[in-house]
Structure 1
Amino acid sequence: MKQQESHDAHAVLYLSALTVILWSTAFVFTRIAIRSISPFPLGLLRYGAAALVLVGIGFAKHIGLPSRRDIPLFLLLGALGFFFYQLFFNIAMTTISAATASVVVATVPVLTAFFASLLFHERLGKVGWIAVIIEFGGILVLTLWHREVSLGWGLFWMLAAAICFAVYNLIQRFSKSRYSSLQATIYSITASALMFLIFLPQAVTEVQGAPLSAVLAVVFMGVFPSAIGFLLWNKALSLARQIGDVTNFMFVTPLLSTLLGVLLIQELPDSPTILGGVLILFGFALFNNRSKLHRPANKKNPMQS
Protein backbone atom coordinates (compact mmCIF):
# COMPACT_ATOMS: atom_id res chain seq x y z
CA MET A 1 0.00 0.00 0.00
CA LYS A 2 2.77 2.42 0.93
CA GLN A 3 4.64 1.51 -2.25
CA GLN A 4 1.53 2.35 -4.33
CA GLU A 5 1.10 5.66 -2.51
CA SER A 6 4.74 6.52 -3.18
CA HIS A 7 4.33 5.62 -6.85
CA ASP A 8 1.21 7.80 -7.13
CA ALA A 9 2.98 10.70 -5.39
CA HIS A 10 5.85 10.56 -7.87
CA ALA A 11 3.40 10.32 -10.78
CA VAL A 12 1.53 13.40 -9.50
CA LEU A 13 4.85 15.27 -9.27
CA TYR A 14 5.89 14.47 -12.84
CA LEU A 15 2.44 14.97 -14.38
CA SER A 16 1.88 18.31 -12.65
CA ALA A 17 5.37 19.54 -13.55
CA LEU A 18 4.90 18.65 -17.23
CA THR A 19 1.51 20.38 -17.21
CA VAL A 20 2.76 23.71 -15.87
CA ILE A 21 5.66 23.63 -18.35
CA LEU A 22 3.17 23.23 -21.21
CA TRP A 23 0.85 25.88 -19.77
CA SER A 24 3.71 28.36 -19.45
CA THR A 25 4.28 28.18 -23.22
CA ALA A 26 0.67 29.22 -23.84
CA PHE A 27 1.36 32.79 -22.69
CA VAL A 28 4.04 33.25 -25.36
CA PHE A 29 2.02 31.70 -28.19
CA THR A 30 -1.10 33.62 -27.14
CA ARG A 31 0.85 36.85 -27.66
CA ILE A 32 1.66 35.68 -31.18
CA ALA A 33 -1.91 34.65 -32.07
CA ILE A 34 -3.70 37.59 -30.44
CA ARG A 35 -2.05 40.02 -32.88
CA SER A 36 -4.22 38.68 -35.69
CA ILE A 37 -7.10 36.84 -33.99
CA SER A 38 -9.39 38.47 -31.42
CA PRO A 39 -9.84 36.87 -27.98
CA PHE A 40 -13.21 35.09 -28.31
CA PRO A 41 -12.59 33.45 -31.72
CA LEU A 42 -9.17 32.50 -30.37
CA GLY A 43 -10.93 30.52 -27.62
CA LEU A 44 -12.94 28.61 -30.24
CA LEU A 45 -9.90 27.88 -32.39
CA ARG A 46 -7.77 26.79 -29.43
CA TYR A 47 -10.30 24.47 -27.81
CA GLY A 48 -11.72 23.40 -31.16
CA ALA A 49 -8.26 22.18 -32.13
CA ALA A 50 -7.89 20.51 -28.73
CA ALA A 51 -11.28 18.81 -29.11
CA LEU A 52 -10.37 17.42 -32.55
CA VAL A 53 -7.17 15.91 -31.15
CA LEU A 54 -8.93 14.48 -28.11
CA VAL A 55 -11.88 13.07 -30.05
CA GLY A 56 -9.40 11.33 -32.34
CA ILE A 57 -7.71 9.82 -29.29
CA GLY A 58 -11.12 8.84 -27.95
CA PHE A 59 -12.02 6.95 -31.12
CA ALA A 60 -8.65 5.19 -31.10
CA LYS A 61 -9.13 4.17 -27.46
CA HIS A 62 -12.83 3.25 -27.93
CA ILE A 63 -13.87 5.22 -24.85
CA GLY A 64 -17.50 5.52 -25.90
CA LEU A 65 -19.93 8.23 -24.81
CA PRO A 66 -20.71 9.39 -21.27
CA SER A 67 -23.85 8.24 -19.51
CA ARG A 68 -26.84 10.47 -20.19
CA ARG A 69 -27.14 11.32 -16.51
CA ASP A 70 -23.53 12.57 -16.47
CA ILE A 71 -23.81 14.88 -19.48
CA PRO A 72 -24.71 17.87 -17.23
CA LEU A 73 -21.54 17.17 -15.20
CA PHE A 74 -19.29 17.45 -18.25
CA LEU A 75 -21.20 20.47 -19.57
CA LEU A 76 -20.52 22.11 -16.21
CA LEU A 77 -16.83 21.16 -16.32
CA GLY A 78 -16.54 22.47 -19.87
CA ALA A 79 -18.27 25.71 -18.94
CA LEU A 80 -16.26 26.41 -15.79
CA GLY A 81 -12.82 25.16 -16.78
CA PHE A 82 -12.73 26.45 -20.34
CA PHE A 83 -15.64 28.46 -21.73
CA PHE A 84 -16.45 30.91 -18.93
CA TYR A 85 -12.86 30.95 -17.71
CA GLN A 86 -11.67 32.10 -21.14
CA LEU A 87 -14.51 34.62 -21.55
CA PHE A 88 -13.95 36.20 -18.14
CA PHE A 89 -10.18 36.17 -18.63
CA ASN A 90 -10.41 37.87 -22.04
CA ILE A 91 -12.87 40.51 -20.81
CA ALA A 92 -10.64 41.27 -17.82
CA MET A 93 -7.55 41.67 -19.99
CA THR A 94 -9.18 44.62 -21.77
CA THR A 95 -9.10 46.74 -18.59
CA ILE A 96 -6.29 45.46 -16.33
CA SER A 97 -2.57 44.90 -16.80
CA ALA A 98 -0.96 41.52 -17.38
CA ALA A 99 0.86 41.90 -14.04
CA THR A 100 -2.39 42.33 -12.12
CA ALA A 101 -3.95 39.44 -14.04
CA SER A 102 -1.04 37.17 -13.10
CA VAL A 103 -1.53 37.91 -9.41
CA VAL A 104 -5.27 37.20 -9.52
CA VAL A 105 -4.80 33.94 -11.48
CA ALA A 106 -2.22 32.93 -8.87
CA THR A 107 -5.05 32.89 -6.32
CA VAL A 108 -6.41 29.70 -7.94
CA PRO A 109 -4.29 27.35 -5.76
CA VAL A 110 -5.25 29.35 -2.66
CA LEU A 111 -8.96 29.31 -3.52
CA THR A 112 -8.84 25.60 -4.40
CA ALA A 113 -7.11 24.72 -1.13
CA PHE A 114 -9.64 26.81 0.82
CA PHE A 115 -12.68 25.24 -0.88
CA ALA A 116 -11.16 21.74 -0.57
CA SER A 117 -10.72 22.25 3.17
CA LEU A 118 -14.41 23.18 3.46
CA LEU A 119 -15.89 20.55 1.14
CA PHE A 120 -13.49 17.60 1.37
CA HIS A 121 -11.89 18.35 4.76
CA GLU A 122 -8.45 18.35 3.16
CA ARG A 123 -5.77 19.84 5.40
CA LEU A 124 -2.53 21.42 4.24
CA GLY A 125 -1.28 21.96 7.79
CA LYS A 126 0.62 24.99 9.09
CA VAL A 127 3.70 24.26 6.99
CA GLY A 128 1.57 23.90 3.85
CA TRP A 129 -0.20 27.23 4.36
CA ILE A 130 3.11 28.98 5.17
CA ALA A 131 4.51 27.60 1.91
CA VAL A 132 1.44 28.86 -0.01
CA ILE A 133 1.89 32.34 1.50
CA ILE A 134 5.59 32.37 0.54
CA GLU A 135 4.78 31.26 -3.01
CA PHE A 136 2.07 33.90 -3.39
CA GLY A 137 4.52 36.49 -2.04
CA GLY A 138 6.94 35.40 -4.74
CA ILE A 139 4.22 35.96 -7.36
CA LEU A 140 3.66 39.49 -6.03
CA VAL A 141 7.39 40.28 -6.22
CA LEU A 142 7.74 38.70 -9.66
CA THR A 143 4.83 40.51 -11.26
CA LEU A 144 4.31 43.78 -9.38
CA TRP A 145 7.79 45.05 -8.45
CA HIS A 146 8.28 48.37 -10.29
CA ARG A 147 4.84 47.89 -11.82
CA GLU A 148 1.50 49.46 -11.01
CA VAL A 149 -1.57 47.54 -9.90
CA SER A 150 -4.49 48.24 -12.22
CA LEU A 151 -7.91 48.32 -10.60
CA GLY A 152 -11.36 48.38 -12.14
CA TRP A 153 -14.12 46.06 -13.19
CA GLY A 154 -11.55 43.89 -14.94
CA LEU A 155 -10.25 42.85 -11.54
CA PHE A 156 -13.64 41.34 -10.67
CA TRP A 157 -13.85 39.57 -14.04
CA MET A 158 -10.40 38.08 -13.46
CA LEU A 159 -11.39 36.97 -9.96
CA ALA A 160 -14.48 35.33 -11.48
CA ALA A 161 -12.19 33.49 -13.91
CA ALA A 162 -9.99 32.30 -11.02
CA ILE A 163 -13.03 31.07 -9.09
CA CYS A 164 -14.29 29.21 -12.18
CA PHE A 165 -11.04 27.30 -12.53
CA ALA A 166 -10.81 26.59 -8.79
CA VAL A 167 -14.33 25.13 -8.83
CA TYR A 168 -13.45 23.15 -11.98
CA ASN A 169 -10.57 21.51 -10.09
CA LEU A 170 -12.94 20.57 -7.26
CA ILE A 171 -15.74 19.19 -9.46
CA GLN A 172 -13.23 17.22 -11.52
CA ARG A 173 -12.77 15.00 -8.46
CA PHE A 174 -16.41 13.86 -8.70
CA SER A 175 -15.93 12.38 -12.17
CA LYS A 176 -12.99 10.13 -11.26
CA SER A 177 -15.18 7.49 -9.58
CA ARG A 178 -16.96 6.59 -12.85
CA TYR A 179 -14.69 7.91 -15.61
CA SER A 180 -11.00 7.84 -16.38
CA SER A 181 -9.02 11.07 -16.58
CA LEU A 182 -8.85 10.54 -20.37
CA GLN A 183 -12.64 10.33 -20.66
CA ALA A 184 -13.23 13.32 -18.38
CA THR A 185 -10.79 15.47 -20.36
CA ILE A 186 -12.26 14.53 -23.74
CA TYR A 187 -15.87 15.07 -22.65
CA SER A 188 -15.30 18.40 -20.89
CA ILE A 189 -13.11 20.03 -23.56
CA THR A 190 -15.42 18.83 -26.35
CA ALA A 191 -18.35 20.35 -24.43
CA SER A 192 -16.51 23.67 -24.20
CA ALA A 193 -15.67 23.60 -27.92
CA LEU A 194 -19.38 23.22 -28.72
CA MET A 195 -20.11 26.26 -26.53
CA PHE A 196 -17.46 28.30 -28.34
CA LEU A 197 -19.22 27.63 -31.68
CA ILE A 198 -21.21 30.84 -31.18
CA PHE A 199 -18.02 32.62 -32.31
CA LEU A 200 -17.61 30.47 -35.45
CA PRO A 201 -18.56 33.12 -38.07
CA GLN A 202 -16.10 35.63 -36.59
CA ALA A 203 -13.39 32.97 -36.31
CA VAL A 204 -13.73 31.95 -39.97
CA THR A 205 -13.40 35.55 -41.10
CA GLU A 206 -10.35 36.27 -38.97
CA VAL A 207 -8.49 33.05 -39.80
CA GLN A 208 -8.76 33.81 -43.51
CA GLY A 209 -6.78 37.01 -43.02
CA ALA A 210 -4.39 35.72 -40.34
CA PRO A 211 -0.71 35.01 -41.09
CA LEU A 212 0.61 31.46 -40.92
CA SER A 213 2.48 32.19 -37.67
CA ALA A 214 -0.81 33.01 -35.88
CA VAL A 215 -2.51 29.86 -37.18
CA LEU A 216 0.43 27.67 -36.14
CA ALA A 217 0.42 29.31 -32.69
CA VAL A 218 -3.25 28.40 -32.27
CA VAL A 219 -2.64 24.82 -33.37
CA PHE A 220 0.25 24.54 -30.92
CA MET A 221 -1.92 25.84 -28.06
CA GLY A 222 -4.73 23.48 -28.95
CA VAL A 223 -2.51 20.39 -29.06
CA PHE A 224 0.04 20.95 -26.30
CA PRO A 225 -1.11 23.34 -23.51
CA SER A 226 -4.78 22.39 -23.99
CA ALA A 227 -5.22 18.77 -25.12
CA ILE A 228 -2.04 17.21 -23.72
CA GLY A 229 -1.79 19.67 -20.84
CA PHE A 230 -5.26 18.92 -19.49
CA LEU A 231 -4.85 15.18 -20.04
CA LEU A 232 -1.82 15.33 -17.73
CA TRP A 233 -3.54 17.73 -15.29
CA ASN A 234 -6.69 15.64 -14.88
CA LYS A 235 -4.63 12.46 -14.50
CA ALA A 236 -2.67 14.15 -11.73
CA LEU A 237 -5.91 15.26 -10.03
CA SER A 238 -7.24 11.69 -10.17
CA LEU A 239 -4.08 10.28 -8.51
CA ALA A 240 -3.44 13.02 -5.95
CA ARG A 241 -4.22 12.41 -2.29
CA GLN A 242 -5.21 16.07 -1.97
CA ILE A 243 -6.17 18.59 -4.66
CA GLY A 244 -3.62 21.04 -3.29
CA ASP A 245 -0.81 18.64 -4.16
CA VAL A 246 -1.58 19.37 -7.81
CA THR A 247 -2.87 22.95 -7.88
CA ASN A 248 0.17 24.17 -5.92
CA PHE A 249 2.19 23.69 -9.11
CA MET A 250 0.27 26.63 -10.62
CA PHE A 251 2.46 28.98 -8.59
CA VAL A 252 5.40 27.98 -10.79
CA THR A 253 3.64 28.84 -14.07
CA PRO A 254 4.22 32.66 -13.93
CA LEU A 255 7.89 32.05 -13.13
CA LEU A 256 8.32 29.68 -16.07
CA SER A 257 6.47 32.08 -18.36
CA THR A 258 8.70 34.96 -17.27
CA LEU A 259 11.86 32.94 -17.78
CA LEU A 260 10.68 31.74 -21.18
CA GLY A 261 10.03 35.33 -22.20
CA VAL A 262 13.49 36.32 -20.95
CA LEU A 263 15.08 33.58 -23.05
CA LEU A 264 13.16 34.54 -26.18
CA ILE A 265 14.11 38.21 -26.00
CA GLN A 266 17.65 37.37 -24.83
CA GLU A 267 17.70 39.63 -21.79
CA LEU A 268 19.14 38.90 -18.37
CA PRO A 269 16.52 38.46 -15.62
CA ASP A 270 16.03 41.55 -13.43
CA SER A 271 16.11 41.60 -9.63
CA PRO A 272 12.32 41.09 -9.19
CA THR A 273 12.50 37.99 -11.39
CA ILE A 274 15.39 36.55 -9.37
CA LEU A 275 13.94 37.38 -5.93
CA GLY A 276 10.40 36.35 -6.86
CA GLY A 277 11.70 33.14 -8.42
CA VAL A 278 13.70 32.26 -5.30
CA LEU A 279 10.62 32.80 -3.09
CA ILE A 280 8.40 30.71 -5.36
CA LEU A 281 10.89 27.83 -5.56
CA PHE A 282 11.57 27.94 -1.80
CA GLY A 283 7.84 27.89 -1.01
CA PHE A 284 7.32 25.16 -3.60
CA ALA A 285 10.03 22.97 -2.04
CA LEU A 286 8.63 23.64 1.42
CA PHE A 287 5.11 22.68 0.31
CA ASN A 288 6.23 19.39 -1.25
CA ASN A 289 8.21 18.44 1.86
CA ARG A 290 5.61 19.53 4.41
CA SER A 291 4.86 15.96 5.50
CA LYS A 292 8.51 15.48 6.49
CA LEU A 293 8.56 18.74 8.44
CA HIS A 294 5.27 18.19 10.22
CA ARG A 295 5.39 16.20 13.45
CA PRO A 296 2.03 14.86 14.64
CA ALA A 297 1.05 16.25 18.02
CA ASN A 298 0.11 12.85 19.42
CA LYS A 299 3.50 11.31 18.67
CA LYS A 300 5.57 11.00 21.84
CA ASN A 301 9.21 11.80 22.05
CA PRO A 302 11.11 8.48 22.34
CA MET A 303 13.39 10.03 25.00
CA GLN A 304 10.40 10.53 27.30
CA SER A 305 9.38 7.74 29.65
Structure 2
Amino acid sequence: MKQRTLSLILAFCTVVLWSTGFVFTRIAVRDISPFPLGLLRYGSAALLLVGIGLAKRIGLPSKRDIPLFFLLGAFGFFFYQILFNIAMTTISAATASVVTATVPVITALFASLFFRERLGKLGWVAVAIEFLGILVLTLAKREVSLGWGLVWMLAAALFFAAYNLIQRFARTRYTSLQSTVYTITASCLMFLVFLPQAIEELSTAPLSSLLAVLFMGIFPSAIGFLLWTKALSLATQIGDVTNFMFVTPLLSTLLAILLIGEFPDSGTFWGGMAILLGLGIFNNRHRLTFRPKPLP
Protein backbone atom coordinates (compact mmCIF):
# COMPACT_ATOMS: atom_id res chain seq x y z
CA MET A 1 0.00 0.00 0.00
CA LYS A 2 1.34 3.42 -0.95
CA GLN A 3 2.38 5.68 1.89
CA ARG A 4 -0.02 8.48 0.86
CA THR A 5 -2.97 6.07 0.60
CA LEU A 6 -2.25 4.70 4.07
CA SER A 7 -2.08 8.22 5.51
CA LEU A 8 -5.52 9.02 4.04
CA ILE A 9 -7.03 5.82 5.46
CA LEU A 10 -5.61 6.57 8.90
CA ALA A 11 -6.88 10.17 8.73
CA PHE A 12 -10.38 9.00 7.84
CA CYS A 13 -10.38 6.45 10.67
CA THR A 14 -9.31 9.23 13.03
CA VAL A 15 -12.16 11.57 12.15
CA VAL A 16 -14.61 8.68 12.55
CA LEU A 17 -13.36 8.21 16.11
CA TRP A 18 -13.38 11.96 16.77
CA SER A 19 -16.97 12.17 15.56
CA THR A 20 -18.06 9.77 18.30
CA GLY A 21 -16.64 12.20 20.84
CA PHE A 22 -19.46 14.70 20.20
CA VAL A 23 -22.14 12.21 21.20
CA PHE A 24 -20.36 10.91 24.30
CA THR A 25 -19.37 14.40 25.41
CA ARG A 26 -23.07 15.28 25.53
CA ILE A 27 -23.57 12.38 27.91
CA ALA A 28 -20.61 13.20 30.14
CA VAL A 29 -21.15 16.96 30.55
CA ARG A 30 -24.53 16.35 32.16
CA ASP A 31 -22.74 15.32 35.36
CA ILE A 32 -19.09 16.42 34.97
CA SER A 33 -17.93 20.00 34.50
CA PRO A 34 -16.02 20.82 31.28
CA PHE A 35 -12.56 21.38 32.80
CA PRO A 36 -12.45 18.29 35.04
CA LEU A 37 -13.81 16.41 32.05
CA GLY A 38 -10.64 17.36 30.17
CA LEU A 39 -8.50 15.89 32.94
CA LEU A 40 -10.53 12.69 33.16
CA ARG A 41 -10.58 12.23 29.39
CA TYR A 42 -6.88 12.81 28.76
CA GLY A 43 -5.88 11.26 32.07
CA SER A 44 -7.45 7.95 31.05
CA ALA A 45 -5.90 8.32 27.59
CA ALA A 46 -2.48 8.95 29.15
CA LEU A 47 -2.74 5.85 31.37
CA LEU A 48 -3.51 3.67 28.36
CA LEU A 49 -0.77 5.22 26.23
CA VAL A 50 1.86 4.99 28.97
CA GLY A 51 1.00 1.31 29.36
CA ILE A 52 1.42 0.78 25.62
CA GLY A 53 4.65 2.76 25.70
CA LEU A 54 6.07 0.61 28.51
CA ALA A 55 5.08 -2.57 26.68
CA LYS A 56 6.75 -1.31 23.50
CA ARG A 57 9.75 0.02 25.45
CA ILE A 58 9.70 3.38 23.71
CA GLY A 59 11.88 4.97 26.38
CA LEU A 60 11.88 8.63 27.37
CA PRO A 61 12.24 11.66 25.13
CA SER A 62 15.50 13.56 24.94
CA LYS A 63 15.75 16.31 27.55
CA ARG A 64 16.09 18.91 24.81
CA ASP A 65 12.74 17.80 23.30
CA ILE A 66 10.69 17.87 26.52
CA PRO A 67 9.68 21.54 25.91
CA LEU A 68 8.55 20.54 22.40
CA PHE A 69 6.15 17.91 23.75
CA PHE A 70 4.83 20.26 26.41
CA LEU A 71 4.23 22.81 23.64
CA LEU A 72 2.37 20.20 21.59
CA GLY A 73 0.38 19.13 24.65
CA ALA A 74 -0.53 22.73 25.41
CA PHE A 75 -1.58 23.62 21.87
CA GLY A 76 -3.28 20.39 20.82
CA PHE A 77 -5.02 19.48 24.07
CA PHE A 78 -4.81 21.78 27.09
CA PHE A 79 -5.43 25.26 25.64
CA TYR A 80 -7.58 23.92 22.82
CA GLN A 81 -9.86 22.09 25.24
CA ILE A 82 -10.12 25.03 27.66
CA LEU A 83 -10.93 27.52 24.90
CA PHE A 84 -13.41 25.11 23.38
CA ASN A 85 -15.19 24.66 26.71
CA ILE A 86 -15.37 28.41 27.33
CA ALA A 87 -16.73 28.97 23.81
CA MET A 88 -19.41 26.32 24.24
CA THR A 89 -20.94 28.28 27.13
CA THR A 90 -21.99 31.07 24.73
CA ILE A 91 -22.23 29.58 21.21
CA SER A 92 -24.10 26.63 19.76
CA ALA A 93 -22.50 23.37 18.77
CA ALA A 94 -23.37 24.17 15.16
CA THR A 95 -21.38 27.40 15.27
CA ALA A 96 -18.49 25.57 16.90
CA SER A 97 -18.46 22.99 14.10
CA VAL A 98 -18.24 25.75 11.49
CA VAL A 99 -15.28 27.37 13.24
CA THR A 100 -13.60 23.99 13.78
CA ALA A 101 -13.91 23.41 10.05
CA THR A 102 -11.50 26.33 9.52
CA VAL A 103 -8.63 24.28 11.02
CA PRO A 104 -7.65 22.70 7.66
CA VAL A 105 -7.80 26.13 6.00
CA ILE A 106 -5.64 27.72 8.70
CA THR A 107 -3.23 24.77 8.64
CA ALA A 108 -2.94 24.87 4.85
CA LEU A 109 -2.38 28.62 4.91
CA PHE A 110 0.36 28.41 7.55
CA ALA A 111 1.95 25.40 5.82
CA SER A 112 2.12 27.33 2.57
CA LEU A 113 3.65 30.33 4.37
CA PHE A 114 6.19 28.55 6.58
CA PHE A 115 6.86 25.23 4.83
CA ARG A 116 6.16 26.21 1.20
CA GLU A 117 3.53 23.52 0.75
CA ARG A 118 1.59 24.27 -2.42
CA LEU A 119 -2.08 23.33 -2.60
CA GLY A 120 -2.63 24.73 -6.07
CA LYS A 121 -5.72 26.54 -7.31
CA LEU A 122 -7.81 23.37 -7.39
CA GLY A 123 -6.87 22.56 -3.80
CA TRP A 124 -8.06 25.94 -2.58
CA VAL A 125 -11.27 25.59 -4.64
CA ALA A 126 -11.89 22.23 -2.92
CA VAL A 127 -11.31 23.78 0.52
CA ALA A 128 -13.81 26.55 -0.34
CA ILE A 129 -16.43 23.98 -1.45
CA GLU A 130 -15.99 22.00 1.76
CA PHE A 131 -16.29 25.04 3.99
CA LEU A 132 -19.37 26.10 2.02
CA GLY A 133 -20.84 22.68 2.78
CA ILE A 134 -20.27 23.24 6.50
CA LEU A 135 -22.03 26.60 6.27
CA VAL A 136 -24.99 25.12 4.38
CA LEU A 137 -25.26 22.31 6.94
CA THR A 138 -25.32 24.82 9.79
CA LEU A 139 -27.20 27.83 8.41
CA ALA A 140 -30.06 25.63 7.22
CA LYS A 141 -30.83 24.99 10.90
CA ARG A 142 -30.42 28.68 11.82
CA GLU A 143 -28.33 27.76 14.83
CA VAL A 144 -25.43 30.15 14.33
CA SER A 145 -24.79 32.42 17.29
CA LEU A 146 -22.11 35.09 17.52
CA GLY A 147 -20.32 36.93 20.30
CA TRP A 148 -17.20 36.41 22.38
CA GLY A 149 -17.72 32.67 22.14
CA LEU A 150 -16.87 32.85 18.46
CA VAL A 151 -13.59 34.58 19.32
CA TRP A 152 -12.69 31.84 21.82
CA MET A 153 -13.54 29.16 19.28
CA LEU A 154 -11.40 30.81 16.62
CA ALA A 155 -8.53 30.91 19.10
CA ALA A 156 -9.05 27.18 19.76
CA ALA A 157 -8.92 26.51 16.01
CA LEU A 158 -5.65 28.43 15.77
CA PHE A 159 -4.14 26.34 18.57
CA PHE A 160 -5.09 23.06 16.89
CA ALA A 161 -3.78 24.26 13.53
CA ALA A 162 -0.50 25.15 15.24
CA TYR A 163 -0.44 21.68 16.82
CA ASN A 164 -0.72 20.06 13.39
CA LEU A 165 2.14 22.17 12.06
CA ILE A 166 4.49 21.73 15.03
CA GLN A 167 4.00 17.95 14.83
CA ARG A 168 6.41 17.87 11.89
CA PHE A 169 9.28 18.80 14.21
CA ALA A 170 8.54 15.81 16.45
CA ARG A 171 8.03 13.29 13.66
CA THR A 172 11.59 13.77 12.36
CA ARG A 173 13.07 12.29 15.55
CA TYR A 174 10.28 10.20 17.09
CA THR A 175 7.81 7.55 16.00
CA SER A 176 4.10 8.33 15.96
CA LEU A 177 3.65 6.19 19.11
CA GLN A 178 6.39 8.04 20.98
CA SER A 179 5.09 11.45 19.96
CA THR A 180 1.50 10.64 20.96
CA VAL A 181 2.48 9.15 24.34
CA TYR A 182 4.75 12.06 25.26
CA THR A 183 2.32 14.76 24.07
CA ILE A 184 -0.84 13.47 25.74
CA THR A 185 1.07 12.70 28.95
CA ALA A 186 2.38 16.29 28.96
CA SER A 187 -1.16 17.64 28.50
CA CYS A 188 -2.41 15.39 31.32
CA LEU A 189 0.16 16.92 33.67
CA MET A 190 -1.20 20.37 32.79
CA PHE A 191 -4.78 19.25 33.43
CA LEU A 192 -3.83 18.16 36.96
CA VAL A 193 -4.71 21.68 38.11
CA PHE A 194 -8.33 20.49 37.94
CA LEU A 195 -7.69 17.32 39.99
CA PRO A 196 -9.50 18.40 43.22
CA GLN A 197 -12.65 19.31 41.31
CA ALA A 198 -12.44 16.11 39.26
CA ILE A 199 -12.23 13.94 42.40
CA GLU A 200 -15.24 15.70 43.90
CA GLU A 201 -17.40 15.26 40.80
CA LEU A 202 -16.33 11.66 40.23
CA SER A 203 -17.88 10.67 43.55
CA THR A 204 -21.35 11.76 42.42
CA ALA A 205 -21.22 11.03 38.67
CA PRO A 206 -23.42 8.15 37.44
CA LEU A 207 -22.01 5.11 35.67
CA SER A 208 -23.19 6.30 32.25
CA SER A 209 -21.07 9.44 32.46
CA LEU A 210 -18.04 7.52 33.74
CA LEU A 211 -18.32 5.05 30.86
CA ALA A 212 -18.64 7.95 28.42
CA VAL A 213 -15.41 9.48 29.76
CA LEU A 214 -13.64 6.13 29.56
CA PHE A 215 -14.79 5.66 25.97
CA MET A 216 -13.54 9.12 24.99
CA GLY A 217 -10.21 8.53 26.68
CA ILE A 218 -9.62 5.24 24.85
CA PHE A 219 -11.06 5.79 21.39
CA PRO A 220 -11.29 9.46 20.28
CA SER A 221 -8.26 10.45 22.40
CA ALA A 222 -5.69 7.64 22.75
CA ILE A 223 -6.38 5.58 19.63
CA GLY A 224 -7.59 8.57 17.62
CA PHE A 225 -4.43 10.60 18.15
CA LEU A 226 -2.21 7.57 17.59
CA LEU A 227 -3.78 7.23 14.15
CA TRP A 228 -3.69 11.00 13.55
CA THR A 229 -0.01 11.32 14.42
CA LYS A 230 0.82 8.34 12.20
CA ALA A 231 -1.19 9.86 9.36
CA LEU A 232 0.69 13.17 9.72
CA SER A 233 4.03 11.33 9.70
CA LEU A 234 3.18 9.51 6.44
CA ALA A 235 1.56 12.39 4.59
CA THR A 236 3.45 14.20 1.86
CA GLN A 237 1.62 17.41 2.76
CA ILE A 238 -0.11 18.27 6.03
CA GLY A 239 -3.18 19.46 4.13
CA ASP A 240 -3.82 15.97 2.77
CA VAL A 241 -4.53 14.80 6.32
CA THR A 242 -6.09 17.84 8.00
CA ASN A 243 -8.56 18.16 5.12
CA PHE A 244 -10.44 15.16 6.50
CA MET A 245 -11.57 17.29 9.45
CA PHE A 246 -14.25 18.67 7.12
CA VAL A 247 -15.98 15.28 7.30
CA THR A 248 -16.38 15.34 11.09
CA PRO A 249 -19.69 17.30 11.19
CA LEU A 250 -21.17 15.02 8.55
CA LEU A 251 -20.13 11.89 10.43
CA SER A 252 -21.45 13.33 13.68
CA THR A 253 -24.82 13.82 11.99
CA LEU A 254 -24.85 10.21 10.80
CA LEU A 255 -23.95 9.00 14.30
CA ALA A 256 -26.78 11.09 15.73
CA ILE A 257 -29.17 9.25 13.40
CA LEU A 258 -27.90 5.87 14.54
CA LEU A 259 -27.57 6.59 18.26
CA ILE A 260 -30.31 9.08 19.12
CA GLY A 261 -32.61 8.95 16.08
CA GLU A 262 -32.08 12.50 14.80
CA PHE A 263 -32.65 12.50 11.04
CA PRO A 264 -31.02 15.19 8.88
CA ASP A 265 -32.94 17.88 7.04
CA SER A 266 -32.35 19.04 3.47
CA GLY A 267 -29.63 21.42 4.60
CA THR A 268 -27.68 18.58 6.16
CA PHE A 269 -28.05 16.52 2.99
CA TRP A 270 -26.85 19.22 0.60
CA GLY A 271 -24.15 20.40 2.98
CA GLY A 272 -22.90 16.84 3.34
CA MET A 273 -22.84 16.37 -0.44
CA ALA A 274 -20.74 19.54 -0.79
CA ILE A 275 -18.31 18.31 1.87
CA LEU A 276 -17.83 14.97 0.12
CA LEU A 277 -17.49 16.66 -3.28
CA GLY A 278 -14.81 19.01 -2.00
CA LEU A 279 -12.99 16.17 -0.27
CA GLY A 280 -12.96 14.16 -3.49
CA ILE A 281 -11.61 17.11 -5.47
CA PHE A 282 -8.95 17.88 -2.86
CA ASN A 283 -7.59 14.35 -2.67
CA ASN A 284 -7.53 13.99 -6.46
CA ARG A 285 -6.40 17.52 -7.31
CA HIS A 286 -3.12 16.35 -8.83
CA ARG A 287 -4.93 14.04 -11.27
CA LEU A 288 -7.56 16.64 -12.13
CA THR A 289 -5.11 19.47 -12.74
CA PHE A 290 -4.57 20.01 -16.46
CA ARG A 291 -0.95 19.76 -17.53
CA PRO A 292 -0.26 20.55 -21.21
CA LYS A 293 1.95 18.09 -22.93
CA PRO A 294 5.31 19.44 -24.09
CA LEU A 295 5.60 20.16 -27.78
CA PRO A 296 7.54 17.56 -29.79
Structure 1 and Structure 2 fold alike (TM over 0.5): yes
* SS at 1:187 equivalent: helix
Is residue 2:259 matched to residue 1:259? no
**2:243 counterpart SS class:** helix
Aligned residue type for 1:32: I
* Alignment partner, residue 81 of structure 1: 76
Q: Could you list the per-position Cα deviations for residues 104-123 of structure 1 after superposition, in whole angstroms to 9, with x for gaps in the alignment?
A: 11100000000000010001
Which position in structure 2 is the counterpart of 1:3? Answer: none
SS at match of 1:146: coil
Given the alignment of the two structures, is residue 43 of structure 1 paired with residue 38 of structure 2, yes or no? yes
User: How far apart, CA to CA, are the structure 2 residues paired with 1:146 and 1:17?
Assistant: 26
Name which of 284, 292, 300 aligns with 2:293. Answer: 300
CA distance in 2, matches of 1:88, 1:145: 26
| 8 Å contact from structure 1 (residues 78, 188) kept in 2 | yes
Query: CA shift at 1:258, angstroms?
Result: 1.1
Match of residue 145 from structure 2:
150
Is the 1:100–1:144 contact (alpha carbons within 8 Å) kept by the matching residues of 2?
no
Aligned equivalent of 1:271: 266
Report matched runs for 1:126-165 at 5 Å.
126-165=121-160
When residues 148 and 26 of structure 1 are mapped into structure 2, their CA distance, relative to the original with a 3 A threshold, is closer
Instruction: Report 1:5-24 matches (<5 A).
Output: 7-24=2-19
Partner of 2:50: 55
Aligned to 2:167: 172
Letter in 1 for 2:23: V
Displaced runs of 4+ in structure 1, greater than 6 A?
A: none
The alpha-carbon deviation at position 152 of structure 1 amounts to 1.1
Q: Percent identity?
A: 73
TM-score norm. by structure 1 comes to 0.95
* Offset of residue 267 of structure 1: 4.0
Shift of 1:145: 1.2
Q: Structure 1 unaligned runs (5+)?
A: 1-5
Quote how far apart the aligned CAs of 1:98 are: 1.1
User: 2:238 — aligned with what?
Assistant: 243
Report if the CA contact (8 A) 1:89-1:157 is conserved: yes
Partners of 2:262 and 2:64 in 1: how far apart? 53
Indicate yes or no: 2:198 matched with 1:233.
no
Residue 104 of structure 2 corresponds to which residue in structure 1? 109
Relative to the length of structure 2, the TM-score reads 0.98
CA contact (8 A) 2:87 2:152 kept: yes
1:268 to partner: Cα distance? 3.2
Question: Conserved in 1, the CA contact under 8 Å of 2:3 and 2:234?
Answer: yes
